[in-house]
């Protein structure tokens, strides 16, 4: 059976969505990053990057959420576009756009808005601007078609869904949806699917640490220790 290493962050949630869409049997293994469980040797042996998610499927071990999406889609032959060079090129382009742009810039915007030990307006401005620019690209893409690849619901849409759920965290207390109505439309559609409901329900099955105390900061953001050591 597939082992799915999970927490309720945006990247594991997109994998949970695909697993539910596929109806594959899987065992969920919670990894509480605020407790530092991602740094345990037995988990680093599965994901050397010490992040979540990861997936073990028999002899196959896969880490990085978009790699997992692609692995499962290709294994099952589902939630992929037509098997033509042009359609596959579009899938890879949008999947990697989300992996290398939307996710990292959105994540850094969350960090500098909510978790940096000292305010850094220049860094926040940088990542807030780039996060908005990337989301606008997605919104404009979706304005004229139901899904990122046209009429076909694919893993690219699932990759976007994981991060779109976090929009209020990315952009702060303001309402971001007036700027991204097409993204909101697809987010709501996917969230209402049975697999979307089941993926969201997965969070309630486990208890994860909620406090962002000093130890949680140390586990989540190990770069802070280097900064503190340099200031000492």
Same-domain status, 70 and 151: no
Same-domain status, 140 and 226: no
State the pLDDT at residue 98: 98
As a residue count, the chain comes to: 232
Same-domain status, 185 and 220: no
Average pLDDT over residues 199-204: 93
Same-domain status, 186 and 92: yes
What's 181's domain CATH number? 1.20.1050.10
Q: How confident is the model at residue 177 (pLDDT cuts 50, 70, 90)?
A: confident
For residues 61 and 49, the answer to whether their CB atoms sit within 8 Å is no
For residue 70, how many other CB atoms are within 10 A of its CB?
Answer: 21
Residues 118-176 pLDDT 10s: 899 999 999 999 999 999 999 999 999 999 999 999 999 999 999 999 999 999 876 88
Residues 2-20 pLDDT 10s: 999 999 999 999 999 999 9
Same-domain status, 188 and 226: no
Same-domain status, 115 and 209: no
What's 212's domain CATH number? 3.40.30.10
Same-domain status, 70 and 101: no
- Rounded Cα distance between 38 and 42, Å, is 9
Token couple for 149: 């690849």
Given a cut of 80, whether residue 232 has pLDDT beyond it is no
Q: How confident is the model at residue 110 (pLDDT cuts 50, 70, 90)?
A: very high
Range of the domain at 115: 85-192
Given a cut of 80, whether residue 224 has pLDDT beyond it is no
Q: In which order are the strands placed within the sheet that holds 60-63?
A: 26-30, 2-6, 54-57, 60-63
Same-domain status, 66 and 157: no
Question: For residue 1, what are the contacts with CB-CB under 8 A and spacing of at least 6?
Answer: 25, 26, 27
Same-domain status, 71 and 36: yes
Helix axes 65-76, 155-164, angle to 10 degrees: 150
- Rounded Cα distance between 53 and 51, Å, is 6
Total count of domains within the chain: 2
State the pLDDT at residue 200: 96
Same-domain status, 127 and 208: no
Same-domain status, 115 and 184: yes
Average pLDDT over residues 18-31: 97
């Amino acid at each position: 059976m597939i082992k799915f290493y999970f927490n309720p962050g945006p990247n594991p949630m997109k994998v949970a969505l695909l697993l539910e869409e596929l109806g594959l049997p899987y065992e969920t293994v919670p990894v509480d990053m605020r407790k530092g469980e991602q740094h345990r040797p037995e988990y680093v042996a599965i994901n050397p990057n010490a992040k979540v998610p990861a997936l073990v499927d028999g002899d196959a071990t896969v880490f990085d959420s978009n790699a997992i999406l692609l692995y499962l889609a290709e294994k099952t032959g589902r939630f992929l576009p037509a098997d033509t060079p042009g359609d596959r090129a579009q899938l890879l382009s949008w999947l990697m756009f989300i992996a290398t742009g939307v996710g990292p810039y959105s994540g850094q915007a969350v960090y500098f808005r909510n978790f940096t030990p000292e305010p850094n307006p220049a860094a926040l401005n940088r990542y807030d601007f780039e996060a908005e620019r990337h989301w606008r690209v997605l919104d404009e893409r979706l304005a004229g078609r139901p899904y990122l690849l046209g009429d076909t619901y694919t893993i690219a849409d699932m990759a976007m869904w994981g991060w779109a759920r976090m929009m209020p965290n990315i952009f702060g207390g303001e309402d971001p949806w007036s700027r991204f109505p097409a993204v909101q439309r697809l987010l709501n559609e996917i969230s209402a699917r049975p697999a979307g409901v089941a993926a969201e329900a997965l969070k309630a099955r486990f208890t994860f640490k909620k406090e962002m105390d000093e130890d949680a900061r140390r586990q989540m953001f190990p770069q802070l220790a280097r900064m503190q050591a340099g200031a000492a």
